[in-house]
Homo-oligomer: A and B are copies of this chain.
Amino acid sequence: MKKKIEFSSDYNEGAHPRLLDKLIETNMVQTHGYGSDPYCEEAYEVIKKLCGNKDLDIHMIVGGTLTNLIVIKAALRPHQCVLSPSNGHIHVQETGSIEATGHKISILSGKDGKITASQIDEACNEYWNNEGIVHLTQPKLVYITHPTEFGTLYKKAELQAISDVCKKRNLYLYMDGARLGYGLAAKENDTDLKFITECCDVFYIGGNKQGALFGEAVVIRNKTIAEDFRPIMKQCGGLLAKGRLLGIQFTELLKDGLYLELSVHANKMAEIIRSSLKRIGIKFFVENTTNLLFPILPDSILEELSKDYSLTYYKRWDEKSSVIRIATSWATTEENANKLAADLEKFC
Contacts and interface: CB of A to CB of B under 8 A. Distances in A.
A221 interface: no
B235 A78 contact: yes
A71 B32 CA distance: 27
A239 B135 CA distance: 10
A46 interface: no
Contact of A234 (B17, B95, B235): B95
Given A14-B27, A20-B27, A79-B232, A135 B63 contact: no
Nearest to A313: B131
Interface string A1-42: 001011011011111010010011011111111100000000
A28 to B, nearest CB: 5
A298 interface: no
A225 to B, nearest CB: 11
State the 7 A-B residue pairs at the shortest beta-carbon distance, nearest first: A66-B237, A14-B27, A79-B231, A96-B104, A6-B30, A95-B235, A96-B137
Interface of A: 3, 5-6, 8-9, 11-15, 17, 20, 23-24, 26-34, 62-70, 73-74, 77-79, 81, 92-97, 99-105, 132-138, 208-209, 213-214, 228, 230-242, 244-245, 310, 331
